[in-house]
Amino acid sequence: MNSSPVQPRPGNRDGSPELSIIIPAFNEERRLPKTLEHICQYLRRHHDIGAEVLLVDDGSNDDTAKVVDASKNRFPQLRLLSNGQNRGKGFSVRHGMLKARGAFALFTDADLSTPIEELEKLLAVLRDGYDVAIGSRAVDRKLIEVHQSAFREQAGIIFNGFVRHVTGLPFQDTQCGFKAFRSDKARSIFEQQRTVGFGFDLEILFLAQRQGLRIAEIPVRWAHDPATKVHMIADGMRMFLDLFAIRWNAAMGRYSGSVPKQPASNCARE
């Protein structure tokens, strides 16, 4: 990173930042330096965004924590949270979201497969009155810069069909790891979240719709990283199980919050 630190920018009147960026990380010592440098430079360019960056270490057994500690002097907005042991991506995002101090909160993958610059699209709709803004690869596939294999893409489309059928969610892409929230509306969602693995996206969107929040699905740029930690077969099966667990939890009354009469009317694609 550059030697000059990124100076913290003013956020809300109470001293809290406008934005929290949450990055779940498990054994990310190789990818993190580039990711943190990219976010650092982005925040340096955008002086109007008062931000904090929460790196959630999910029990890494490499030097992930050391990379973060080494960056703090030059990147004062950066905070390290630790799960203590490997708990899963969903647990890590929940941990970060419940510790976030910003008026808005974004979670993004450690590989920045969606460039941090796409944040501006999501913040625009949140500032326009939406409660949740989710990045989507499927709304405009021309924005995909590096595609997954044809098999993985087709499997994703099929899985999305099951998601729509089982949960009633209307979105074309529930799994893109780039989602932003109004923090005051998001807290109750993440407090209720039970899924700790990769299927957590389904649950938080299900809960958001259940509570009648306004959700926008926004096309974003995205590039597949061959070093992805999502295992096509094993994690795919777990997400299918999570899908039915969400419906079961709802049927058993394990989620609080009301169900809107017309949930789809609260959703939009840009």
- CATH number of the domain enclosing 151: 3.90.550.10
Domain presence at residue 14: no
Domain interval for residue 89: 19-269
pLDDT of residue 270 exceeding 70: no
Split at pLDDT 50, 70, 90, the class of 226 is confident
Q: What average pLDDT does range 20-35 have in this prediction?
A: 96
Summarize pLDDT for 6-19 with one digit per residue, the tens: 444 444 556 789 99
**Number of structural domains in the chain:** 1
Region of poorest pLDDT, from 26-35, 83-92, 249-258: 249-258
Tokens found for residue 189: 């969602």
**Extended strands (E) in the chain:** 19-25, 51-57, 78-82, 104-108, 132-136, 144-146, 178-182, 215-219, 222-223, 267-269
C-beta atoms surrounding 222 within 10 Å: 26
Domain presence at residue 183: yes
Region of poorest pLDDT, from 23-37, 146-160, 162-176: 146-160
At residue 87, φ and ψ (nearest 5 deg) are -115, -20
Domain presence at residue 3: no
